[in-house]
Amino acid sequence: MNILVFGDDPAQVRKKTADLKARFLQVNPGGEVIILYADDLPGIGSLTDMLTTVSLTGDKKCIIFKNLLSTKLEQQEQIEELLKQSDQEMTTLVFSEENSDVLKKTFVKKMTKEGILLEKYIFSCQKARVLRLDLVLGQEEKNYLNQLYQSDPEMVEREIEKIALLQRAGKPELIPEVFSDYEFSLSVFCFTDALFAKNYSQASVYLRQLFDQDHNEHMLLSMIINHVKKILFILDAENKKHDVSKVIKEMKIHPFVAKNLLQQKQRFSLSEVKSWLARLLEIDLLSKQGKVNAKLALEQFCVSIGTRRINN
């Protein structure tokens, strides 16, 4: 199994790499781990020996390349040829890249196509995958997308499509309304946890704190709507006797998020979550039309959870 660990947060990359190393040694107690650094690679002879020979004892080995994509293209191509000769059953290769600026997408795509890369752990910089070349984004917008990707990659793509529609419609002046310099701090998740636990008083407290921190009400609204839709899909699948695990897989939900959703959906009936969604979509539409204040409407929504007015 060959793995790429890549991101613009070196700490995350190093942690994931260390986790993979520990997992390898746990599964293969007699295994060998070799770490190769881009600025101190051994000669081609030693590399050939490391990559293409099998241990006499039959133990597996894990070779970790640190920042291989920072090396010269010639070296990359030499290593690529050796990788094709490596024993896939006995050798695990980990490509640990801490600098997103040096990612050679064509190189990675080629290795993926040829079966050299089989698994990828890619952090927030991967949002660049979905950025359309015809879009013009400022640093504030890019920061928002970076943060959003860590929470909900699918939502990033929807936000980008929204921007594309505005630009094609010749309404660039509306684009700043879509974005904000938005940080997913702990309080955001405290707010959503309280909201979907139907703890209206606590949710209201967190919501006011978020507004005090200048969090954008429209981004919060989009986040809540997206979450409600996921719960709706799960409840609807249960109601129709469908396989919920397949629905979750189709939605490409992170296991941690899926676990929370399965816990949260127990507090809802199908009709109730439909009422939530209808009300939130109404707030979203009316706020965009300038007919309601989104901040005030969200605060009232939190209160309605406790009073159950939302279902009436």
Residue from 7, 224, 230, 4 nearest 98 by CA: 7
Distance CA 199, CA 194 (A): 5
**Predicted confidence (pLDDT) per residue in 277-286, tens digit:** 999 999 989 9
pLDDT at 152: 57
Amino acid identity for residue 257 in this structure = V
Secondary structure of the chain as H, E, C letters:
CEEEEECCCHHHHHHHHHHHHHHHHHHCCCCEEEEEEHHHCCCHHHHHHHHHCCCCCCCCEEEEEECHHHCCHHHHHHHHHHHHHCCCCCEEEEEEECCHHHCCHHHHHHHHHCCCCCEEEECHHHHHHHCCCCCCCCHHHHHHHHHHHHHCHHHHHHHHHHHHHHHHCCCHHHHHHHCCCCCCCHHHHHHHHHHHCCCHHHHHHHHHHHHHCCCCHHHHHHHHHHHHHHHHHHHHHHHCCCCHHHHHHHCCCCHHHHHHHHHHHHHCCHHHHHHHHHHHHHHHHHHHCCCCCHHHHHHHHHHHHHHCHHHC
Regarding predicted confidence, which is higher, 50 or 273? 273
pLDDT at 274: 94
Percent of the chain whose pLDDT exceeds 70? 60
Distance CA 145, CA 287 (A): 22
- Is 181 a residue whose pLDDT tops 50? no
Amino acid identity for residue 20 in this structure = L
Regarding predicted confidence, which is higher, 110 or 273? 273
**Encoding tokens for residue 100?**
């997103």
Domains of the chain listed by start with CATH number: 2-122 (3.40.50.300), 129-181 (no CATH), 185-311 (1.20.272.10)
Instruction: Calculate the average pLDDT of the chain.
Output: 73
Distance CA 213, CA 217 (A): 11
**Encoding tokens for residue 106?**
């064509």
**Predicted confidence (pLDDT) per residue in 241-284, tens digit:** 989 888 888 877 767 678 888 888 999 999 999 999 999 999 98
pLDDT at 17: 79
User: How many residues are there in the chain?
Assistant: 312
> What is the dihedral sign for C-alpha 265, 269, 270, 273?
negative
State the pTM of this model: 0.43
Cβ-based neighbour number of residue 144 at 10 Å: 24
Q: Are 25 and 142 in contact (CB under 8 A)?
A: no
Distance CA 199, CA 207 (A): 12
Residue from 305, 286, 143, 122 nearest 218 by CA: 286
- Is 91 a residue whose pLDDT tops 70? yes
Confidence bin at 119 (pLDDT 50/70/90): low
